[in-house]
């Protein structure tokens, strides 16, 4: 977290296909999990949102196969920022429309 602002973009500039301007919110946390940064593209530039906890930690969901990237829904991100442990959340059954698949 002590790096300068230009180093924040490095993980995504290396991937190429993952555009920061896609509308996704990119979340970074420190090892102690008490500080968090959100990188958001707005219509006219980047916005960085930063939060430092005085006590406690952010409880991130475990990443599958020790990957550095985890995708969460917007509702999960809001709960995470409010201090809710996502592993203890019980969700009601909901209808989800099937995702159309492309045929090659």
Cα torsion 60, 32, 49, 12 to 10°: value is -70
pTM of the entire structure?
A: 0.62
| Residue, of 102 and 24, whose pLDDT is higher | 24
pLDDT tens readout for residues 52-72: 999 999 888 777 776 677 778
74 to 15, 32, 46, 78: CA distances (angstroms)? 23, 23, 19, 6
Q: pLDDT at position 14, please?
A: 43
């Amino acid at each position: 977290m002590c790096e300068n602002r230009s180093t924040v973009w490095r993980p995504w500039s290396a991937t190429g296909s993952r555009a920061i301007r896609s509308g996704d919110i990119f979340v970074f946390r420190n090892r102690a999990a008490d500080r968090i940064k959100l990188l958001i593209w707005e219509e006219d530039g980047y916005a960085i949102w930063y939060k430092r906890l005085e006590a406690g930690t952010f409880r991130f969901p475990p990443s599958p196969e020790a990957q550095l990237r985890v995708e969460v829904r917007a509702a999960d991100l809001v709960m995470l920022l409010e201090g809710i442990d996502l592993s203890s959340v019980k969700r009601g059954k909901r209808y989800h429309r099937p995702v159309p698949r492309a045929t090659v």
